[in-house]
Structure 1
Amino acid sequence: MGLSSALTIRTESVSSAQLGPENPLANIGKPLEAPYQISGDVPAEIIANSTYGHPATLHPYRLQDRFSRIQETVEMPVVILENSQLRAKFLPALGGRLWELFDKNTGKHLLHTPGQIQFGNLALRNAWFAGGIEWNIGTRGHSPGTCAPLHSAVVDLPDSGQALRMWEFERLRNVVFQIDAWLPADSPVLKVAIRISNPNEHEVPIYWWSNAAVPQTEHTRVIAPASSAFASDYENGIKRRSPQELDGVDCTWPERNRHAADYFFDLAPQQRRWIAAADADGDGLAMLSTERLRGRKLFVWGEGDGGRRWQEWLSPDGGKYAEIQAGLAQTQFENLPLAAGESWAWLECYGNARLTPGLARASWPQAIEHAGQRVEQLLPAARLESDFTAWSQWADAEPRAAFHSGSGWGALESRRRTAQGQAPWAYPGTPFGAETLGLPQKPWLELLATGNFAGADNFVAGSDWSRALGLAAGNQGQIAFHLGTLAQAEGRLAEAVAGYRRCLEAAPDDAGLQAAALRGLALVENDPQRYLQACALAPGNRALVVEAASALLADGLAESASQVLAGFSAVAGAEAAADGRVEFLRIQALAALGRTAEAAAALQAGITVADLREGENSLAGLWQRLFPGTEIPQAYQFGMAD
């Protein structure tokens, strides 16, 4: 008789920085993760997919850019799945992250699980944290929902076991996704089934990558069944390379990489899908899946100054890590078309590869052969397929006990479809109940119910909402502003300009709304001077001031940048002085104005910019300018390529 498995829901004390409020501005600038140029010895399929489906903006999501770096003890819901061999811990409040996977047989953590949650600017919406296994959907980059809650519930299984179900409405692509995790008695692998459903009457571009952080030491090796990979160094596109012999270095050992890099292994179509990490004892995470999840990737930070600094920044006491990943496409530069009304599903499994150390360190063909044999022993291919088939029998089972709520946007979209005469969703396993609706959705519900719109500080997307707003009565300034925002998000720039100008005419006494419209014009007309007008109306709007000062400095208008920063400081006082991003902008403006002594003194005194972007080397660049020929402090070394 096998030992039982258990699902436990509880609250734990976790050391974490504060995420802070969302940025109030509409997220209608260009995504930072721009399409990549791909050419050379790369399959035509990858090149075609790399040019398909990239969003013009990340609207309607708002940025999460107000996090701190100060650790506090917070209470957080966790879900534990446990049997005789493994213990898995999930964080439903933070994107459903699989935070911990502990192997009881070896006493080892198969995932990199830091002792704290430390946010950094690496995701599509800015905030991200290192560790565990992250579920990425939307477009290239860390998911918009990676630091947001998922709807979570318990599902009763046909064999009397229980599964954790997490789900959400993904607003960038307007799709529904669900994640089902379960751990049968005595199973050496955690099982995670994922499904993405397209409820639209049109095709949508889809992106998915499951991203696992694994501990890295000098003995760590990553193995995948491929002789070559599509390598990216973040500067020169991607090329087909041999990671086992790259400039004289075997880069399948993460510690041997000098610079940050991606390696997308070129798995043959008929090849079983897996990737594994092995430590000095041969132990490490094995990541295997059914055929749908085709891609496999190794990411390394590299051993340069910037790579080491990023590791310290994200995991101050957690040690080094590398990432092994699995995705729908061969590379992360691609989107794939999901037909109207269709769904894609697959099964992922995670356990200890348990390789023989000598064979894990052997020649690449030998290591692949051995790892493939151990993967088959861990979970035979036939069993993987039968488990997937069995999951499909309960994939639509209604969850029994919901214990955590995600956003109310899925419920709003369900209401919109019904109100506008469209077919209701037929997804009984992922309900979006009325109880999940909250204040962000209230003005949009009012619009659906009455045709009246009083205004909103949150945003929606899509032509259906544009039509509803176009017919609405109520606050004409707010209606015009949101119509302008929707038009800009969809690339209808002339309509965006018209909407913002109507807003300025209709709401002459609403300084905040006027500032938002002027900011929209600054973006759509590429006119940084508009920011001066906007900041004069809303000098205390920190998000607006930071965006404005950044744009003005980039355009060579340091005096104007200094002006808006001074206006913010006059309103915010000590808050402005303590804000690392604002202080850095002030120092940059001083340097650009030739006030180098003041700038140098401020930079030398030390600043911390919590939301410094991955790969951003501006701190080091400014130091080199102000202190030529001197060594750049390690605290300012963030360049990915050194």
Structure 2
Amino acid sequence: MTTIRADVLTVPGVELGPENPLPALRPLDEAHTVDERTRAGLPRDMARQVGYEPLRGVLPVRLLDGYGRDRAEVALDTLVLENDRLRVTVLPGLGGRIHSLVHKPSERELLYRNPVFQPADFALNGAWFSGGIEWNIGATGHTTLSCAPVHAAPVPGPDGSPMLRLWEWERLRDLPFQVDLWLPDGSDFLYVGVRVRNPHEKPAPAYWWSNIAVPEEHRVLVPADEAWHFGYERTLRRVPAPVSDGVDRSYPLHGTYPADYFYEVPDGERRWIAALDGEGHGLVQTSTDLLRGRKLFLWGAGTGGRRWQSWLTEPGTGGYAEIQAGLARTQLEHVKLEAESEFSWLEAYGPLATDPERSHGTDWAAARAEVAGRLASALPRTTVEEAYEAWLTRADTEPGERLHTGSGWGALEVARTGGKLPGTPFEPSTLGAAQEPWLELLRGGTYPVPPGDAPPGPTLVSRAWRDMLETAPADPVTEYHLGVAQWHAGDRAQAVRSWERGLELASGAWPLLRCLAVADRETGHLERAADRYAESFDRLCAERGEGGEWTAATVALAREAIDALLAVERPAAARSVWSRLDPAIRERGRFRLILARLLLAEGDRPAARAVYDAGFEVADLREGAEAVGEVWSRLTDERLPPVYDFRMRPTV
């Protein structure tokens, strides 16, 4: 019989660190975008969805950028779902990701299982880690829930065996969702029922990609003859599959640079994707038809891709590729979810054994047919459809004893709307300190003055909360939060007015000054932005207290202030900010890179070069970022050392 148990996984890793308390006002740096010219050449439905409410920023979610790279043993909570055929290990504190999927009769790990927990700046809000199966909801990119807790509890499955339900409130789009993991007795396949709901009175943009890490030595097969290739040059073009530009792209190591291949699975074809080793064994994923898209992401064999592979895992332990399944054809698209409706589907994951001469043969049609035939024998399409219908009868079943607790944001939204979400209860008991002031605003119409021993708390930005802030008594903290909400809504002039009103009354002015500095920089007033950043940092240093939140605020504001000051060639003022940082902060890799920039601005090229020669690691280096190489190119004409080469595209 299927069982569910709690356990702990101990691996080398790092702590996530505190959230960045500065609201994320800057535009989203998301690599998966295309220009209008490219969009005009796409199929009409695809172009429409590419242009449908793309995300501009990650508010109200906070950034996670406080982690490092000095690993020690860390203990991660797990939930283990197991029958006599499969063992599924889930990380409920890290987005509900499946860490491991083991086929017990063959003793095969079907996924790429990362041997370390090493966050990197790949999620929309920063911290993300590689490996396993992650559930990407929200908007183009890795979900903001990558390193966040979700709710978890058992639910009776369709056959009476226990099913593990994971659920949360996705805050970028304000959409609740659930993921039900179900192992029928004796099954070689894990069933995953997914539901995304829109409880609101207007349509919402929906996004979902199930992201599966597999060993990169495997061949990836999918029922398609064409794909949309997207590279980090931000170009999207249609190419034949599997061979394009004379190279068989179904083998991830045949590529040089990181790339996405979004496959054109013909209408009516069964949706599946598989990754098979040289012996023809591996993992297959299939689903009901609503989950339309299939994708391969590869790091390639180039220097940058290899550097990222070692950066995200443990050198010498092998690399990974990603096979994915999504609601749209590409990850550049968002799909309209109508008001008071839902999307739901069923996925299945399990082992597949094929004839390697056929599945690895040069005849692509025969290789695909081999996989499709074996899948049909192991798990007929009708079985998946019947399992989906059976799962739907339990989708609203209330979960049992809580095995893990997520955030309180869903409970706050339920308190605001009074809505009911059968099957995914967001209970008042989950409300915490982050939600308390907003609950007071909801009930009493006033946002409370926060204690003076902490930076401002998280901001809410949806229309309903913005309306409440606009009618609340005006005081500095209310004007601060109102300005952030107005900025998010695109009313930047009104946001500036709100922050300026707050500044007139504020005793602790640094958060408002920082917001105004961002506004100045975004509107091209660089000198005034530098002035305000410098003043904001001065005020922070005079007002700050002790504790992790204050340290996180100091680190984040110093980074922004130094960057703004160097942008207007004021190295002396930037040095003043640098000199007031704790020595331990100045030794972090991010600040070693900042030091190299500062020394260059001061004209001390040998000292800047010495920073590189001594070595540093920027723990939160952004996916696709080229800052490390750009500073190097200003120092010397020498080739960029491989340890600093994170380039994901050809050099121009």
Q: TM-score, normalised by structure 2?
A: 0.93
Give, in whole Å, the separation in 1 of the partners of 2:642 and 2:246: 28
- Tell me, yes or no, if the aligned pair for 1:130 and 1:315 is still in contact at 8 Å: yes
**Structure 2 match to 1:420:** none
**Structure 1 match to 2:74:** 74
Cα offset, 1:402, TM superposition:
0.7
Match of 2:617 among 579, 594, 608: 608
Match of 1:586 among 573, 595, 599: 595
Q: Which amino acid in the other structure matches residue 68 of structure 1?
A: G
Please give the secondary structure, in 1, of the residue aligned with 2:242: helix
Give, in whole Å, the separation in 1 of the partners of 2:308 and 2:188: 33
**Structure 1 match to 2:252:** 254
Distance of aligned partners of 1:446 and 1:531 in 2 relative to their CA distance in 1, 3 Å threshold: same
**Structure 2 match to 1:342:** 341
- Tell me, yes or no, if the aligned pair for 2:15 and 2:74 is still in contact at 8 Å: no
Give, in whole Å, the separation in 2 of the partners of 1:392 and 1:157: 10
**Structure 1 match to 2:533:** 531
Distance of aligned partners of 1:637 and 1:76 in 2 relative to their CA distance in 1, 3 Å threshold: same
Matches within 5 A, 1:241-280: 241-280=239-278
**Structure 2 match to 1:619:** 628
Distance of aligned partners of 1:487 and 1:574 in 2 relative to their CA distance in 1, 3 Å threshold: same
Q: Which amino acid in the other structure matches residue 224 of structure 2?
A: A
Distance of aligned partners of 1:461 and 1:637 in 2 relative to their CA distance in 1, 3 Å threshold: same
Gapped runs of 5+ residues in structure 2? 450-455, 542-550
Cα offset, 1:453, TM superposition:
1.4
**1:134-190 deviation digits (Å, cap 9, x = unpaired):** 100111000011110001111123533101101011111111100000111111110
Gapped runs of 5+ residues in structure 1? 418-423
Give, in whole Å, the separation in 2 of the partners of 1:551 and 1:88: 48
Cα offset, 1:236, TM superposition:
4.3
Cα offset, 1:26, TM superposition:
0.7
Between 206-215 and 600-609, the greater mean CA deviation after superposition: 600-609
Q: Which amino acid in the other structure matches residue 380 of structure 1?
A: P
Please give the secondary structure, in 1, of the residue aligned with 2:576: helix
- Tell me, yes or no, if the aligned pair for 2:39 and 2:50 is still in contact at 8 Å: no
Give, in whole Å, the separation in 2 of the partners of 1:525 and 1:259: 35
Give, in whole Å, the separation in 2 of the partners of 1:372 and 1:265: 16
Cα offset, 1:40, TM superposition:
7.1
Asked if 1:127 is matched to 2:138, the reply is: no
Asked if 1:429 is matched to 2:418, the reply is: no
RMSD: 1.7
Give, in whole Å, the separation in 2 of the partners of 1:461 and 1:40: 32
Cα offset, 1:510, TM superposition:
1.3
Distance of aligned partners of 1:521 and 1:615 in 2 relative to their CA distance in 1, 3 Å threshold: closer
**1:408-431 deviation digits (Å, cap 9, x = unpaired):** 1001111112xxxxxx32212100
**Structure 1 match to 2:557:** 544
Distance of aligned partners of 1:558 and 1:607 in 2 relative to their CA distance in 1, 3 Å threshold: farther
**Structure 2 match to 1:15:** 12
Please give the secondary structure, in 1, of the residue aligned with 2:290: coil
Give, in whole Å, the separation in 1 of the partners of 2:626 and 2:378: 43
- Tell me, yes or no, if the aligned pair for 1:580 and 1:607 is still in contact at 8 Å: yes
Give, in whole Å, the separation in 2 of the partners of 1:200 and 1:470: 21
Matches within 5 A, 1:162-181: 162-181=162-181
**Structure 1 match to 2:383:** 383
Give, in whole Å, the separation in 2 of the partners of 1:635 and 1:355: 39
- Tell me, yes or no, if the aligned pair for 1:496 and 1:524 is still in contact at 8 Å: no
Cα offset, 1:532, TM superposition:
2.4
Q: Which amino acid in the other structure matches residue 144 of structure 2?
A: P
Please give the secondary structure, in 2, of the residue aligned with 1:402: coil
Distance of aligned partners of 1:477 and 1:39 in 2 relative to their CA distance in 1, 3 Å threshold: closer
Matches within 5 A, 1:453-602: 453-455=447-449, 456-473=456-473, 476-507=475-506, 509-527=507-525, 528-529=529-530, 530-539=532-541, 541-553=554-566, 555=567, 557-560=568-571, 563-570=573-580, 572-602=581-611
Please give the secondary structure, in 1, of the residue aligned with 2:648: coil
**1:53-105 deviation digits (Å, cap 9, x = unpaired):** 11222100010011111222222221111222211110000000011011223
**Structure 1 match to 2:221:** 223
Distance of aligned partners of 1:523 and 1:487 in 2 relative to their CA distance in 1, 3 Å threshold: farther
**1:279-306 deviation digits (Å, cap 9, x = unpaired):** 0111111010000100000000010000
- Tell me, yes or no, if the aligned pair for 1:568 and 1:576 is still in contact at 8 Å: no
Q: Which amino acid in the other structure matches residue 641 of structure 1?
A: R
Give, in whole Å, the separation in 2 of the partners of 1:582 and 1:550: 11
- Tell me, yes or no, if the aligned pair for 2:119 and 2:128 is still in contact at 8 Å: yes
Give, in whole Å, the separation in 2 of the partners of 1:160 and 1:245: 46
Q: Which amino acid in the other structure matches residue 352 of structure 1?
A: P
Q: TM-score, normalised by structure 1?
A: 0.94
**Structure 2 match to 1:6:** 3
Distance of aligned partners of 1:243 and 1:617 in 2 relative to their CA distance in 1, 3 Å threshold: farther
Please give the secondary structure, in 2, of the residue aligned with 1:388: helix
Cα offset, 1:524, TM superposition:
4.9
Cα offset, 1:31, TM superposition:
0.9
Distance of aligned partners of 1:331 and 1:552 in 2 relative to their CA distance in 1, 3 Å threshold: farther
Cα offset, 1:41, TM superposition:
6.0
**Structure 1 match to 2:440:** 446
Between 35-44 and 315-324, the greater mean CA deviation after superposition: 35-44
Please give the secondary structure, in 1, of the residue aligned with 2:590: helix
Between 173-182 and 584-593, the greater mean CA deviation after superposition: 584-593
Give, in whole Å, the separation in 2 of the partners of 1:594 and 1:351: 59
Please give the secondary structure, in 2, of the residue aligned with 1:467: helix
- Tell me, yes or no, if the aligned pair for 2:565 and 2:574 is still in contact at 8 Å: no
- Tell me, yes or no, if the aligned pair for 1:558 and 1:593 is still in contact at 8 Å: no
Give, in whole Å, the separation in 2 of the partners of 1:413 and 1:309: 42
Matches within 5 A, 1:96-115: 96-115=96-115
Please give the secondary structure, in 1, of the residue aligned with 2:459: coil
Give, in whole Å, the separation in 2 of the partners of 1:188 and 1:319: 26
**Structure 2 match to 1:402:** 402
Please give the secondary structure, in 2, of the residue aligned with 1:81: strand
Match of 1:640 among 627, 648, 652: 648
Give, in whole Å, the separation in 2 of the partners of 1:531 and 1:522: 10
Q: Which amino acid in the other structure matches residue 577 of structure 1?
A: R
Please give the secondary structure, in 2, of the residue aligned with 1:374: helix
Give, in whole Å, the separation in 1 of the partners of 2:246 and 2:347: 34
Cα offset, 1:216, TM superposition:
1.8
Cα offset, 1:565, TM superposition:
4.8
**Structure 2 match to 1:421:** none
Distance of aligned partners of 1:30 and 1:236 in 2 relative to their CA distance in 1, 3 Å threshold: closer
**Structure 1 match to 2:452:** none
- Tell me, yes or no, if the aligned pair for 2:278 and 2:356 is still in contact at 8 Å: yes
**Structure 2 match to 1:140:** 140
Between 293-302 and 53-62, the greater mean CA deviation after superposition: 53-62
Cα offset, 1:575, TM superposition:
2.2
Q: Which amino acid in the other structure matches residue 177 of structure 2?
A: F
**Structure 1 match to 2:318:** 319
Q: Which amino acid in the other structure matches residue 441 of structure 2?
A: L
Give, in whole Å, the separation in 2 of the partners of 1:117 and 1:43: 40
Q: Which amino acid in the other structure matches residue 15 of structure 2?
A: Q
Give, in whole Å, the separation in 2 of the partners of 1:39 and 1:206: 20
**1:542-585 deviation digits (Å, cap 9, x = unpaired):** 111112323444x3x2425x524532432x33123222112211
Cα offset, 1:395, TM superposition:
0.4
Q: Which amino acid in the other structure matches residue 131 of structure 2?
A: G
Cα offset, 1:458, TM superposition:
0.9
Give, in whole Å, the separation in 2 of the partners of 1:11 and 1:23: 27
Distance of aligned partners of 1:190 and 1:346 in 2 relative to their CA distance in 1, 3 Å threshold: same
